[in-house]
Structure 1
């Protein structure tokens, strides 16, 4: 990223772990600023389960590498108090310093992705509780209209236990997770050409009650209508992550 940019990152159920080389990261309530800082080495920033948009300013000449984990993926890599970390939204962390040596190789241009994958798998550990949480999340992702009561009945897990598991491991409540997923689904479908002029389909397939509910919730999150939001949008190559230029 040579010219620098100021953009907004929106809530997602995935968890990006970003690494910056020779940069200073200042995380504020309204704006996070990333600037070049020779001698800083590798800085890692975790984008947890934030429920409000995050404003970010990236300076020119910034070198960045990100690993995007699916829900609870990062929990299997580092489990100790991870829910508290994820619940804090965007924050600088040192919990993943064991990855920095390999990430430094990648940032310098070396092809060390297999080494990074092996390192992640070496530290990867999924507990029985995380496996149960993964089952719950899979059910939520399979059906936009399934309720937590239905999940509770199907898996024979009391809702209170589901709630505690979300807070302990993800840092947010089940309802907040569902709201983030619904919004995330809607913005991904909204930037997909296949859904051009199909707002009602986006609404229903994302889990909103109807088109009016979708537009109302979308404006609360972005202060824009879905159509206006599409202007100045960035996506990754698979349209999995969406940023919006300010």
Structure 2
């Protein structure tokens, strides 16, 4: 299994997309199973030729010959998510920043991705999408693929009218020194609490409270794995604004299925350390 990571080249795309990664396996006998964990990024995966199975907390993809492109998208799920890949997988995953995908779709994200995982059909209506698939998968050169992908994304780019407002909310929710309540955030935005929650759910497919919990988890994960100054779990929890150790452990059990100590011992880092997976050993 080969994984290659690339970053958006165009300044517009840099505002909305964190990175792309390509995953390719040449063997028809290839198989891997792993757990992915809650993330504030939104991954959209485009498979060259594949079938798929989606169940609660699970997505399986089987590469096939001469089949259609399979496009799958996940929202910000809130518990461990099991993935199984089989066969000669050839895919690209676009990892959108929070609310980033909204400038590349023509309906609210909450309508496109009401479940943790589903087929992505929002681009099927555009003839350019089919032409893009053919051109994209006609080359095996990843840099050429990035160029083709970005050309397509820029062709469908439409600035999302609610971006500035939601960016403010996302900024506050990601600031763990910020003690404002959801009610106070709504008031700052000139909205009622109900309207704020409905707007966030409509365009993010998750509530503000649940999103903040995931953001806090990812912040603590980043500190543990990449910040040398944080060595003790108590320090990590405190910096990420978990109000006590018991709550810190409770959140990790919910989002990862294990306590923090066991979790950090079990995961692997991939794709320039953007991907944190726990592989299921055969």
TM-score over 0.5 (shorter chain): yes
110-119 or 95-104, larger mean C-alpha shift: 95-104
- Aligned in 2, Cα 1:122/1:92: closer, same or farther, shift over 3 Å? same
Q: Following the alignment from structure 1 to structure 2, what is the Cα–Cα distance between the partners of residues 117 and 85?
A: 21
Deviation digits for residues 119-164 of structure 1 (CA, Å, limit 9, x no counterpart): 2123222333232112211222233543323423433333222101
State the secondary structure of the residue aligned to 1:166.
Answer: helix
Which of 38, 41, 47 pairs up with 1:11?
38
Asked if the contact 1:8/1:245 (under 8 Å) is kept, the reply is yes
Which consecutive unaligned segments of at least 5 residues does structure 2 have? 2-24
Q: Following the alignment from structure 1 to structure 2, what is the Cα–Cα distance between the partners of residues 212 and 125?
A: 44
Which consecutive unaligned segments of at least 5 residues does structure 1 have? none
Q: Following the alignment from structure 2 to structure 1, what is the Cα–Cα distance between the partners of residues 134 and 278?
A: 28
- How much does 1:83 deviate? 0.7
Give the superposed CA RMSD: 2.3
Structure 1 partner of 2:251: 217
Structure 1 partner of 2:7: none
4-13 or 89-98, larger mean C-alpha shift: 89-98
TM norm structure 2: 0.78
Structure 1 partner of 2:165: 132
Aligned residues: 246
- Aligned in 2, Cα 1:34/1:230: closer, same or farther, shift over 3 Å? same
Q: Following the alignment from structure 2 to structure 1, what is the Cα–Cα distance between the partners of residues 254 and 175?
A: 26
Task: Please say if 1:74 is aligned against 2:111.
Answer: no
88-97 or 138-147, larger mean C-alpha shift: 138-147
- How much does 1:177 deviate? 1.1
TM norm structure 1: 0.88
Task: Please say if 1:235 is aligned against 2:235.
Answer: no
